[in-house]
Structure 1
Amino acid sequence: MINEKVAVLTDSGSDVPAEIAAKLHIFVLPLQVNYKARSFRDGVEIDAQTVYEGLETEVPTTSLPLGSDLTDLLEKIKQEGYTRILGVLLSSGLSGTYNMVRLAAVDSPIPMEVLDTKNIGIGSGMSAIKAAELANAKVPYEQIVALTKKAIENTKIFFVLSTLEYLKRGGRIGKVSAMIGSAFDIKPIITCNEEGIYTTVAKARGRKQSLRKSVELALEYAKEASSVTLSIAHGNALADANEIKDEIVSQLRSVSNVFVGPVSPALGVHTGPGLIGICVQKD
């Protein structure tokens, strides 16, 4: 179709930094962060710092976006003159958001396709960013879809958590053992497997060693690529995030772009403070 205008839709659990979403005109559907007293739109009505500060008082839950928010967002996209929508969403193995949006696509006011990144956080968001960059460059729609699918296949994230407590509480533990020896301070390095479920790829003793191991895994994943995009996500751990960014950039000449940013409140609920995520997308 000539003169197509393609909208990219993602969810707040994909952790696209707000400034990048604004710059690339990415439409973000907020998940819900639920306290006993009320619920908040993720990243809109509550931030991750607020979640962390309140964890000792109450650990909230998360839930799917409001149906009305999705309906309103699809209508907004139509009103802004877009002719197609490409949804790039966090793993269906970790959230029902993908299925929610996929079902809504049937009744979307304009043609809509939805991709499951089988990833979480910025591991999902980097593929949404790639799709939006292509859309802004006026790349034909079918090519945007094909290249975004390729980006999804070439994206990997490695997480280190200070504790598995919140992941266990939220029921998102996946194939990660919640019994890993806390007495010995053994920490898993977590990624998403081919089904988009959390799994352990390595273990290390203590935070320093686990961060070092996650850097090694990221470097190993990126070593054959001629160009990579690097993103470091953190849960109230900006100093660690910047240190890791500098270390990887100094060792990996193929880095063409770098993002550093906080995780969404919804992801923070399940991971707690201290999280570091290293994401590599092979271009």
Structure 2
Amino acid sequence: MTPRPAERCQQSLVRWRGAIEADLLARRAAVPGRRPNLRRKKGRIAVVTDSSCSLPVDRDTQEVLLGPVGANIISVPLPVMIGEQIYPETSEELDRDLPLALAQGNPVRTSRPSPGRLLNSYQALRDQGYAGVVSIHLSAKLSGTVEAARLAAGQLDFPVTVVDSRQAGLGLGHAVIDAAITAQLGGTLESVAEAASRSAHAAESLFVLPNLDQLRRGGRINAMSTLIGGLLWVKPLLQLVDGEIQPVERPRTMPRALERLQARVAQHAHSMDAPRLAVHGFGNPAQSLELAEALAPLSASPVPVVDLPPVLGAHLGLGALAVSLNPALPAAP
């Protein structure tokens, strides 16, 4: 029996996680002298991110579920509001209620985490023996999370470096992974932050939407209305440019939009060192899988198929598709 689309998405995640762990172990084996203890906390650097990174997370502890790679990563949930009800982004109720709210046209808003929530995470990591934290977050042009992280870091006598990824989804998530691997191999606060910045700022994220309704409702269409021409029936091709969602093309049919998306992804992949691709969807697993299979030859590692994080899905809407590309983490000198 052929697995259902949801099962095939999970299988893609298993392959992707296995490749990440294998990469960490290979890098550890290449370290001269005594090999780093991957579970060590004392004196190491921890990584904090937010749930817009699309990494799998334990709903109770906010620990990232990537085996040894996730051992030093904490993900802080971003709130999503449906009407007057506030949901943490990792809640099961949000997974159920958000698609229904979007389909019915109910008001959906997003917010940043409080500085106090981030401060608690930094303090907990300090108390566990970590020497510092690199806190890498959703683009500051899409959310106030970076600002909240900086406010929290300023209240603590403990080294915290905040990085504006200028990315979202696994464009951010792969940068978090690179930072975590660098930290687990003994990296300093500076080298871990550099690994995060290098990956995130070289990443590309592109989106195709079935319509612009949700962007219009969320007030995020104003900056692009001139370029799009006010036509809410186009199937826009968008891209994160310097941390901001910008239109790059305006196809009139979904097949044409997907064709142009694949062409632009191929162009970026061919100019990137060992690109790592990821596909995101929202309420369309079969279409997401089809896109991932078409793009797989361009990727240097397995292509995961994951849902858009709710904080993005709330603005892009049902049926959105996205692709992220990150360059490979360079080998240690």
Structure 2 equivalent of residue 142 of structure 1? 190
More strand per residue: 1
Deviation of residue 136 (structure 1)?
2.5
Contact 1:48-1:268 at 8 Å conserved across structures:
no
Residue 181 of structure 1: aligned partner: 231
Counterpart check, 1:17 vs 2:65: no
Match for 1:86 among 111, 134, 137? 134
List runs of 5+ in structure 2 lacking aligned partners: 1-41, 329-333
> Structure 1: which 4+ aligned runs deviate by more than 4 Å?
none
Deviation at 1:213, TM superposition (A): 0.9
Contact 2:202 2:327 (8 Å CA) reproduced:
yes
> How much does 1:18 deviate?
2.7
Task: Name the amino acid aligned to 2:201.
Answer: E
Amino acid at match of 2:64: A
- Between the aligned partners of 1:29 and 1:267, the Cα distance in structure 2 is 15
Q: 1:247 aligns with which of 294, 309, 327?
A: 294
Where does residue 263 of structure 1 map in the other structure?
A: 308
Q: Distance in 2 between matches of 1:279 and 1:59?
A: 28
For 1:213-260, what per-residue CA distance to the aligned partner results, in whole angstroms no more than 9, with x for missing partners?
Answer: 11111110010334111111111111111111111113x2x5224222
Q: Is the 8 A contact 1:13 1:90 kept in 2?
A: yes
Who wins on radius of gyration, i.e. which is larger?
Answer: 2
Q: Is the 8 A contact 1:12 1:28 kept in 2?
A: yes
Aligned partners of 2:240 and 2:246 also within 8 Å:
yes
Distance 1:101 1:82 in 2: 18
Q: Could you tell me which runs of 5 or more consecutive residues in structure 1 were left unpaired when the two chains were aligned.
A: none
Task: Tell me the residue number matched to 1:218.
Answer: 265
2:280 and 2:321 in contact (8 A); partners too: yes
TM-score by length of 2: 0.76
Does 127-136 or 110-119 show the bigger shift? 127-136
* Counterpart check, 1:27 vs 2:103: no
Equivalent position to 2:322, from 274, 277, 283: 277
Q: What amino acid is the match of 1:5?
A: R
What displacement does 1:8 show? 0.8
**Inter-partner Cα distance in structure 2 for 1:57 and 1:198:** 22
How far is 1:71 from its partner?
2.8
Farther-moved stretch of structure 1 (23-32 vs 48-57) = 48-57
> Are 2:45 and 1:6 aligned?
yes
Letter of the structure 2 residue corresponding to residue 73 of structure 1: S
Is the Cα contact below 8 Å between 2:142 and 2:244 reproduced in 1? yes
Number of residue pairs aligned between Structure 1 and Structure 2 = 277
Q: Is the 8 A contact 2:280 2:306 kept in 1?
A: yes
Alpha-carbon separation, structure 2, partners of 1:175 and 1:122: 24
2:54–2:173 CA contact under 8 A, matched in 1: yes
| Equivalent residue number for residue 158 of structure 2 | 110
Identity %, equivalent residues: 26
In structure 1, give the amino acid aligned to 2:324.
C
Cα distance in 2 for partners of 1:172, 1:11 equals 21
TM-score (norm 1): 0.89
Q: Which amino acid aligns with 2:266?
A: L
Match of 2:278 in 1: 231
